[in-house]
């Protein structure tokens, strides 16, 4: 007696249809299943062992498979092209206060970096000018020392020649 209803036809149950035994290799260890959100294959594509063709290498084999429409598939549009809900960039979230605040902070940081770069260039220029000025002063000091030495030697020479004066008196 059936549990959930009665069967008015009392014919014997028909045997299940005979199917050829399926062979599974290492790549296809299970029969084709229904796709899930994580699947990368559509149900219509037959599975193929990775090394059926000796000319195919694993990298080549992977590139010949077509991707499915799973959640993580590579054929999805990038997140740059979509905002929440799949609408384009002109959607409501581009006017969000947190987004605009973050953009403002990025712009301010970029402006601060530009100002810092200009200040660094100005500081380097000032250092270069100061070093050049110091070198010029050192050259002038060396030149003045050379002139002072020449002057001293001339003064000694004049002093020697003046020693002979005043003998007559």
Closest CA to 40 of 16, 13, 17, 62: 62
3-state SS of 86-125 is HCCCCCHHHHCHHHHHHHHHHHHHHHHHHHHHHHHHHHHH
**pLDDT category, 82, cuts 50, 70, 90?**
very low
| Entry pTM | 0.36
| Mean pLDDT score, 92-102 | 83
Over residues 117-134, the pLDDT tens digits come to 999 999 999 999 999 999
User: Residue 82: how many CB atoms within 10 A of its CB?
Assistant: 14
Write down the domain spans for the chain.
97-162
CB under 8 Å to 39, separation ≥6 — which residues?
68, 70
Over residues 55-81, the pLDDT tens digits come to 554 554 454 455 555 556 555 555 544
């Amino acid at each position: 007696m059936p549990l959930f209803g009665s069967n008015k036809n009392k014919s014997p149950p028909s045997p299940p249809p005979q199917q050829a035994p399926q062979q599974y290799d290492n790549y296809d260890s299970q029969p084709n299943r229904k796709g899930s959100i994580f699947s990368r294959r559509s149900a219509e594509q037959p599975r193929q062992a990775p090394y059926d063709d000796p000319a195919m290498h694993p990298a080549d084999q992977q590139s010949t498979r077509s991707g499915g429409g799973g959640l993580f598939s590579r054929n999805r549009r990038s997140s740059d092209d979509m905002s929440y809900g799949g609408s384009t960039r002109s959607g409501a979230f581009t006017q969000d206060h947190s987004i605009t605040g973050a953009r403002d902070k990025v712009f301010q940081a970029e402006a601060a970096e530009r100002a810092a770069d200009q200040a660094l260039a100005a500081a380097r220029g000032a250092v270069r000018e100061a070093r050049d000025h110091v070198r010029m002063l050192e050259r002038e000091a060396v030149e003045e020392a050379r002139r002072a030495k020449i002057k001293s030697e001339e003064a000694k020479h004049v002093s020697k020649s003046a020693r002979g004066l005043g003998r007559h008196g």
